[in-house]
Amino acid sequence: MTSPYRVVLGPAFDLLHPSLRAYFDAIPSGSTGRGRGVFDTVGTPRRWLWPVLALFARPGVLFPVWQHEVPFTVRNAPAVAADGSPAVRAERTFELRGRPRIMRDEIGVEDGMLVDRLGAPVRAEAVFAARVLDGALRLTSTSVAIRIGRLRIPVPRVLAPVIVLTERWDEARDCQRISIAVGHRLLGRLYQYAGTFRYDIALGE
């Protein structure tokens, strides 16, 4: 089984930094990927957004917080999407002050694009275009939808946020650096988390 990132990027996958290739490539059967690090920032200082974010907190999508220096862990496991295509199921635990929060998602492939289904149960879905820039992976959302049970509600483009994820290798610190920003062309940045971590593949769950 290959990885969804290799499927979408094709030959460009080999342009990723070697350490990123190990992260985004297929996880061997019977193994999981585990990482530990610290997010410099999590959430948004715009408190007027917190009631909206709270709706997505219970299923583990977004959290109504604005915190700094947040320890976190990530666990990636190989999965198979409903259509039989390769997927990766991820669980990120944010050690937020007050209580830990868990973000869950599954990334797969649909029509040559990466599709991220967020939450347990799934409450949001984002389609991403992927490219490699100077050895880093850049994902930019092209559409966003809300999921309510089996109902999928596309968010109109004029209202939809744009999600940009960048993962690169920090040579100076010998670790992986991640940055996710959720923004809107009129409202600016709505949500973010960014930090560094180290990661490896291990046998077992």
Amino acid 72: pLDDT? 98
| Residue 205, in any domain of the structure | no
**What are the tens digits of pLDDT across the range 8-62?**
999 999 999 999 999 999 998 889 999 999 999 999 999 999 999 999 999 999 9
Whole-angstrom Cα distance, residue 33 to residue 25?
11
Amino acid 85: pLDDT? 87
**What are the tens digits of pLDDT across the range 137-194?**
999 999 999 998 889 999 999 999 999 999 999 999 999 999 999 999 999 999 999 9
Provide the number of structural domains found in the chain. Answer: 1
| Residue 117, in any domain of the structure | yes
SS3 state of residue 67:
strand
Q: In which domain, by residue range, is 154 found?
A: 4-200
| Residue 19, in any domain of the structure | yes
| Residue 156, in any domain of the structure | yes
| Residue 31, in any domain of the structure | yes
CATH number at residue 185: 2.40.128
In the chain, the DSSP E strands lie at 31-43, 66-80, 86-94, 101-110, 113-118, 124-133, 136-148, 151-154, 162-170, 175-184, 188-203
Whole-angstrom Cα distance, residue 35 to residue 205?
13
Omega prior to 121 cis, within 30 of 0:
yes
| Residue 92, in any domain of the structure | yes
| Residue 101, in any domain of the structure | yes
Q: Identify which of 78, 98, 62, 67 has the alpha carbon closest to the alpha carbon of residue 5.
A: 78
Whole-angstrom Cα distance, residue 190 to residue 56?
14
Print the SS3 string covering 81-99. Answer: CCCCCEEEEEEEEECCCCC
Give yes or no for a contact between 131 and 120, defined as CB atoms under 8 angstroms apart: no
| Residue 9, in any domain of the structure | yes
